[in-house]
């Protein structure tokens, strides 16, 4: 049997493993921070009509510049942003891959602060960009001094900052990003705000820092708060020059006419889609409160998930949850597991399992 080792794959990919959160068919799936609520019927109808209207023209390539969707996304973001400030692709993973293709690549370095999103180093790897895994503080925070010191030490071409951070859940004070922007004048700063809609009140977005900072990129997604993970739509906000730079690496017609139409209908109907955010935040806060009442160590969360400590081996604990029909996430952080805040009944199922496993 031929294996990957028999093929002439790139030397820098040999021995590497792909992204692989388990996709298991279990009753309660709380492992990839999806929105547990199905798309509401009115939005299903609107997306159906929008997609139907495209079908006759599928003989033609779609709008390469994705103008209509970018315009709707800019309107959603506010902050005076326009179509020229926004770019969209098949998930924010693709947006970030395009950023690495344009600003990273062989001979260049990207730096991030772990524990953080596992896709950042994988996207760097795929684009031949060297990844520098700096660390957050032991309490998962990141001070402006530490962030600036690591960047000065390694002199990267791109810096990735995730806020609210996955898997730890906590948002960064924009002062940290401000400090990074002031001292790091050479490369790009990418703030991954996949979970920003779930942040606790008073947590400003890095969008507020965009004016006057052409090297700042704010990455967003419809996969979480919008409950549109299957639609694959991510986007960024930045100076229009950044959008111009991405044109050099994006595939022509990367976003299908069907994806553009579906996402546009979803953004237009955002008030209906985003209604679930408050319910999810309630369940998130419930998980934090209940686990803390039981004496479990829990990280503060501005996201739709909670990172909590297990006293014994997290792999065994993960399996014990799975044995009870609850799929959560082992993010490879010794002594910790991550659970997505789902519906009320899913959260109850998790908390019941946790009571047996963590006591
Ligand atoms: C889930 C997640 C994303 C979303 O990626 P998509 O490709 O948009 O689905 C991006 N960043 C972080 C940190 C995430 O956790």
pLDDT in tens, 59-92: 999 999 999 999 999 999 999 999 999 999 999 9
What is the average per-residue pLDDT within 259-272? 97
Query: Whole-angstrom Cα distance, residue 280 to residue 35?
Result: 8
Task: Tell me: pLDDT of 311 over 90.
Answer: no
Percent of the chain with pLDDT over 70: 100
Phi, psi of 329 (to 5 degrees): -125, 125
The arithmetic mean of pLDDT across residues 321-340, rounded, is 96
Relative to the CA of 90, which ligand 1 atom is closest? 7
Give the residues across from 340 on adjacent strands: 305
**Rounded Cα distance, 213 and 174, in Å:** 13
Q: pTM, whole model, 2 decimals?
A: 0.97
Mean pLDDT of the chain: 96
Ranges of H-type helices in 235-343: 240-246, 257-268, 270-273, 276-293, 314-323
* Helix/strand/coil percent split, the chain, to 5: 45, 15, 45
Question: Measured between alpha carbons, how far is 181 from 169 in angstroms, rounded to an integer?
Answer: 23
Question: What pLDDT is recorded for position 41?
Answer: 97
pLDDT value, residue 4: 92
pLDDT band at 21 (very low <50, low <70, confident <90, very high): confident
- pLDDT tens, position by position, 30-57: 999 999 999 999 999 999 999 999 999 9
122: Cβ below 6 Å to ligand 1? no
Q: Give the number of residues written for the chain.
A: 359
Nearest protein Cα to ligand 1, atom 2 = 194
CA distance 34 to 230: 9
Contact 288, 200 (CB under 8 A): no
Beta carbon of 90 within 6 Å of any ligand 1 atom? no
pLDDT at res. 17: 87
Best residue among 88, 160, 164, 194 to mutate for probing ligand 1, ranked by most atoms within 8 Å of CB = 194
Q: Do 291 and 302 touch, CB atoms closer than 8 A?
A: no
Would you say the CB of residue 91 lies under 6 angstroms from ligand 1?
yes
Q: pLDDT over 90 for what percent of the chain?
A: 95
pLDDT of residue 252: 96
What is the mean pLDDT of the segment spanning 141-147? 96
pLDDT at 268 over 90: yes
Banded model confidence at residue 359, pLDDT cuts 50, 70, 90: confident
pLDDT value of position 119 = 96
What pLDDT, on a 0 to 100 scale, did the predictor assign at position 335? 96
Q: Residue 234: CB within 6 Å of ligand 1?
A: yes
Q: Could you give the CA distance from residue 172 to residue 141 in angstroms, rounded to a whole number? A: 8
- In the chain, the domains with their CATH numbers are 22-38+275-357 (3.90.1150.10), 41-271 (3.40.640.10)
């Amino acid at each position: 049997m031929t294996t990957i080792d028999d093929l002439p794959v790139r030397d820098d990919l040999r021995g590497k493993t792909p992204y692989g959160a388990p996709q298991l068919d279990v009753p309660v799936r709380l492992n990839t921070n999806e929105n547990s609520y199905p798309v509401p019927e009115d939005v299903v109808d609107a997306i159906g009509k929008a997609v139907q209207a495209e079908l006759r023209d599928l003989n033609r390539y779609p709008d390469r510049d994705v103008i209509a969707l970018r315009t709707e996304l800019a309107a959603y973001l506010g902050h005076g942003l326009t179509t020229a400030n926004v770019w969209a692709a098949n998930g924010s993973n693709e947006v970030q891959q395009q950023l690495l293709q344009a600003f990273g690549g062989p001979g260049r370095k990207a730096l991030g602060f772990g524990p953080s999103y596992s896709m950042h180093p994988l996207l760097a790897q795929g684009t031949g960009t060297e990844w520098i895994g700096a660390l957050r503080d032991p309490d998962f925070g990141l001070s402006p001094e530490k962030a600036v010191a690591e960047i000065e030490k390694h002199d990267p071409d791109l810096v990735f900052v995730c806020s609210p951070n996955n898997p730890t859940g906590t948002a960064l004070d924009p002062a940290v990003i401000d400090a990074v922007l002031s001292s790091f004048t050479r490369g790009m700063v990418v703030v991954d705000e996949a979970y920003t809609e779930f942040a606790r009140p008073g947590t400003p977005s890095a969008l507020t820092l965009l004016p006057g900072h052409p090297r700042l990129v704010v990455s967003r997604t419809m996969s979480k708060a919008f409950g549109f993970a299957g639609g694959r739509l991510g986007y960024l906000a930045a100076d229009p020059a950044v959008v111009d730079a991405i044109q050099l690496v994006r595939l022509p017609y990367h976003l299908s006419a069907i994806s553009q139409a579906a996402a546009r209908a979803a953004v237009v109907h955002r008030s209906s889609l985003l209604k679930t955010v408050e319910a999810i935040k309630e369940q998130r806060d419930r998980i934090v409160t209940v686990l803390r009442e039981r004496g479990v160590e829990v990280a503060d969360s501005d996201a739709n998930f909670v990172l909590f400590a297990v006293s014994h081996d997290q792999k065994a604990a993960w399996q014990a949850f799975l044995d009870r029909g609850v799929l959560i996430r082992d993010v490879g952080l010794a002594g910790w597991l991550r659970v997505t805040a789902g519906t009320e009944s899913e959260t109850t199922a998790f908390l019941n399992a946790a009571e047996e496993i963590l006591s």
